[in-house]
Structure 1
Amino acid sequence: MRTEAGAGAAGAGAAGADAKGLLEIAGLSAGYGRTLILEGVGFTVPAGGRLALLGRNGVGKTTTLATLVGQTTRHAGSIRLDGVELGALPSSARAAAGLGYVPQTRDVFKSLTVEENLVTGLKGRPRAALEEAYSLFPRLGERRRNGGGELSGGEQQMLSVARALLGRPTALLLDEPLEGLAPVICDQLMAALSQLDMTVVLVEQQVDRALDFADSVVFLDRGRVVHAGPAHQAKADHALLERHLGVALAA
């Protein structure tokens, strides 16, 4: 099933024919070894668009992101970024092609300082580019000499996002970036993400925040796409949210 989730969406930051970040997923079946988790997953995110990938626990959201960056076994389907097929490439080549990934585990190097963590994301760019991270997340600038293991959960998440952004991806994949964070930190992180001028695919359990951020939404169930459409319409459809998520947002 191929779903044009981003069709007609006004992608934030997409400007003209030269905009980069068009992400096209078609017929994607994948899992771990012979165990199939995803079956025929498909969606398109326009350049600069924001897609929320939602569903109950265990339906394949994290597996979808992991498959896009080459961390699972792909059995079928296409993964294209700006027309370039990535499905057969190793993870490093997908990153070089423009896919950025912030995993649920954050993967901060706790033995390194904040600044040393950020340097690992530069990918050959000059050290002066670190100021981009400190501008987006001033708290990281204040704690640049602290070790990664000394940071709060929210600061670690900021560090993980900033490190991914320093590589200048054209499409950023975020796996539950708000998990376990205090509301005020969630506000700060979402405010920073809203400034980004790139394609974003967001997996998030805080449904209201995800739908406010996104242009379009895809719901997964048992490894398949069961609904796709504009995010604002999904947020207003309480029956849809209860059916696919088991939640109803406040009016």
Structure 2
Amino acid sequence: MPATWLEVKNLSAGYGPTRVIENISFTVAAGSRLAVLGRNGMGKTSLFATMAGQTRRFGGEIIFGGHDISTETSASRALKGLGYVPQTRDIFPTLTVEENLFVGLKSRPKDAISEAYDMFPRLKERRKNLGSQLSGGEQQMLSTARSILGQPTILLLDEPLEGLAPVICEELMVAFSRLAHSGEMTILLVEQRIQSALDFAEEVIVLERGRIAWQGKPKALAEDHATVERLLGVGGLH
């Protein structure tokens, strides 16, 4: 299936009575790559959780390939092709790697699981291990692979590199780039490793206190040292 375009219009959402994101609007073209940046606590995870249907929406729309999914359940959004890899990974710790992957197949044939092993050979080596026996990096690979097996046309990746060794980060970013260039997925990425995010993305938005404070091309942000320091809390990028 080809990648799907996404539009967020004046989206406000949060938890209980508390608003975390306010009047956020952006569009992501089909097959493109968007990085969502910002310091901790600025609403990045809440934005992704809202798109996945896991927060309280106060207003605005989420348009998935021309269809308004704002009021649909998380399950319905997933069936339409929205894949979400949360920061918490959320694998099944008492199931094996292979059993975790079977969950992601939905109605696809079981031999499609080979796609996950092609992308992450390390998972094939660990296929009989329980989820609880995996390292953090392997759990991230498993969570990502399980989502991808469902053939999403839009994929949300929330801080996939958090706490991982550099060699694992590199392996994951190679896999994400391969997916992005396949033309079958639109990818939105939240990441604290700013340079990795800028190298990956075609467009960037930066959140501050639940609103978009900057929007543009990665190169423009990387060259705007004052904005990088003000919004991201780092003095420069390398």
The question of whether the paired residues in 2 share the 8 Å contact of 1:114 and 1:146 is answered with yes
Distance in 1 separating the partners of 2:142 and 2:3: 25
Dislocated runs of 4+, deviation >6 Å = none
Is 1:193 the counterpart of 2:180? The answer is: no
SS at match of 2:104: coil
Distance in 2 separating the partners of 1:179 and 1:186: 9
Deviation of 1:249 (Å): 3.0
Match of 1:48 in 2: 31
The question of whether the paired residues in 2 share the 8 Å contact of 1:215 and 1:232 is answered with no
Deviation of 1:236 (Å): 2.2
The question of whether the paired residues in 2 share the 8 Å contact of 1:208 and 1:249 is answered with no
Distance in 1 separating the partners of 2:42 and 2:103: 32
Deviation of 1:65 (Å): 0.2
Distance in 2 separating the partners of 1:72 and 1:137: 31
Distance in 2 separating the partners of 1:209 and 1:99: 23
Deviation of 1:250 (Å): 3.7
The normalised TM-score by structure 1 is 0.91
Q: Which is worse superposed, 210-219 or 240-249?
A: 240-249
Distance in 1 separating the partners of 2:99 and 2:151: 18
Q: Which runs of 5+ in 2 are unaligned?
A: none
Match of 1:240 in 2: 227
Aligned partner letter, 1:228: Q
Match of 1:32 in 2: 15
Distance in 2 separating the partners of 1:155 and 1:20: 26
Give 1:133-172 correspondences, 5 Å limit.
133-172=116-155
Deviation of 1:170 (Å): 0.3
Match of 1:132 in 2: 115
The question of whether the paired residues in 2 share the 8 Å contact of 1:20 and 1:82 is answered with no
Deviation of 1:158 (Å): 0.2
SS at match of 1:93: helix
Distance in 1 separating the partners of 2:19 and 2:169: 33
Per the alignment, do residues 88 and 250 of structure 1 end up closer, same or farther by CA in structure 2, a change over 3 Å counting? Answer: closer
Deviation of 1:240 (Å): 1.5
Aligned partner letter, 1:70: G
Match of 2:81 in 1: 98
Q: Which runs of 5+ in 1 are unaligned?
A: 1-17
Q: What per-residue deviation string (whole Å, max 9, x for no partner) do you get for residues 158-210 of structure 1?
A: 00000000000000001100000000100001011110031011001000000
2:216 corresponds, among 224, 229, 242, to: 229
Q: What per-residue deviation string (whole Å, max 9, x for no partner) do you get for residues 81-135 of structure 1?
A: 1101110100000001111000000011111000000000001100000000000
The question of whether the paired residues in 1 share the 8 Å contact of 2:62 and 2:69 is answered with yes
The question of whether the paired residues in 2 share the 8 Å contact of 1:22 and 1:45 is answered with yes
Q: CA RMSD in A?
A: 1.1
SS at match of 1:124: coil
Higher helix share: 2
Distance in 1 separating the partners of 2:112 and 2:43: 35
SS at match of 1:193: helix
Deviation of 1:43 (Å): 0.8
Per the alignment, do residues 250 and 32 of structure 1 end up closer, same or farther by CA in structure 2, a change over 3 Å counting? Answer: closer
Is 1:111 the counterpart of 2:98? The answer is: no
Number of aligned residue pairs: give it. 234
**Percent of residue pairs identical:** 58
Is 1:213 the counterpart of 2:196? The answer is: no
Deviation of 1:21 (Å): 1.3
Per the alignment, do residues 146 and 229 of structure 1 end up closer, same or farther by CA in structure 2, a change over 3 Å counting? Answer: same
The question of whether the paired residues in 1 share the 8 Å contact of 2:7 and 2:63 is answered with yes
Distance in 2 separating the partners of 1:155 and 1:245: 28
Distance in 2 separating the partners of 1:115 and 1:236: 44
